[in-house]
Amino acid sequence: MEYLLRAEHVTKEYARHRALSNVSMHVPEQSIFGLLGPNGAGKTTLIRIINQIIGADEGSIWFNNEVLKPKHVHEIGYLPEERGLYKKMKVGEQALYLTRLKGLKGHEARKKLKEWFERFELTPWWDKKVEELSKGMQQKVQFIITVLHNPRLLIFDEPFSGFDPINVNILKEEILKLQRNGSTIIFSTHNMGSVEELCDNIALINKSEKILEGEVHQIKKAFKSMIYEAEVDQLQKPLTEILDRRFTLIRSEKQNGIMTIRVQINGHSTTNDLIEALLPAAQVLSFKELTPSMNDIFIKKVTGKFPLEK
């Protein structure tokens, strides 16, 4: 597998606070890579090191099989969580200025900006001051400025913050389009639903250390909990008599005469064993596996508790 970006044993300390401790991660080329972790875990520090805003105390960052150098700045686009447009400048004037700083010539920059402004329905705001725009509109402008020079690596830090659902979907489609057109994307977010929808790979950082990394579908497979939920009716005997030591009853609740049960299968027992235990003593109305979401896995790795087990 080809990696566009690699962090190797990166450590960073601030005044006796260790922000990153021996962190390594590998971002496959043309993937969407989720960088996850609770507040204060060290994600922003790692992003700043990749952007060469600060340096690592130990370890190295590799970009396209080279040690990261100042020349790589123009191959990286960064959309920080804290937006930073100049409020008193006109929107179009500022967008042109910032995109030219990224190496685009005036005519090319104006043409591309006009196309993006039209796509995001921002054209009427070209000659308005930034302070006249809503927060969502300002975020759209900054997104455009971030991607306009077609960088090989894009880093989005909470890109959906402040957007309504319609604009979130628009932005998701644009991110997927950027990936299809060759960009590699690092996506830092607390929204686990977006991770499942967009990300191919993830790394989870907690308390300065990487505690999980891999392909999303492989991670979900590894965290299968063997927990199942069934709706049953016409119970002939108590659940404690139906379910032997092969199963653990996590919870049960009755509503409108229907019993919903959550059961974990233990050891080498199978779903067939559970169904066979239920069928003689109840009518099974529905039966499904509770597959852990990325949110469940995140909570499990950070707190040690699996929400499905409640």
Quick check: helix, strand or coil at residue 255? strand
Joined together, the tokens standing for residue 171 give 């932005």
Cα–Cα distance between 160 and 136 in angstroms, integer? Answer: 9
Strands (DSSP E) along 108-257, which ranges?
Answer: 153-157, 184-188, 201-206, 209-215, 227-233, 247-255
pTM of the model: 0.87
What distance, in Å, lies between the first and last C-alpha atoms of the chain?
39
Cα–Cα distance between 168 and 98 in angstroms, integer? Answer: 24
pLDDT (tens, 9 = 90+) of the chain, 310 residues, equals 799 999 999 999 998 899 999 999 999 999 999 999 888 899 999 999 999 999 999 999 999 999 999 999 889 999 987 767 888 899 999 999 998 888 888 888 999 999 999 999 999 999 999 999 888 888 899 999 999 999 999 999 988 887 888 888 999 999 999 999 999 999 998 778 888 889 999 999 999 999 999 999 999 989 988 999 999 999 998 998 999 999 999 999 999 889 999 999 999 999 999 999 999 999 999 999 998 888 889 888 888 887 877 7
Q: Which domains does the chain possess?
A: 3-215 (3.40.50.300), 226-289 (3.30.70)
Beta strand 153-157 with 184-188: parallel, antiparallel or unpaired? parallel
Cα–Cα distance between 222 and 121 in angstroms, integer? Answer: 43
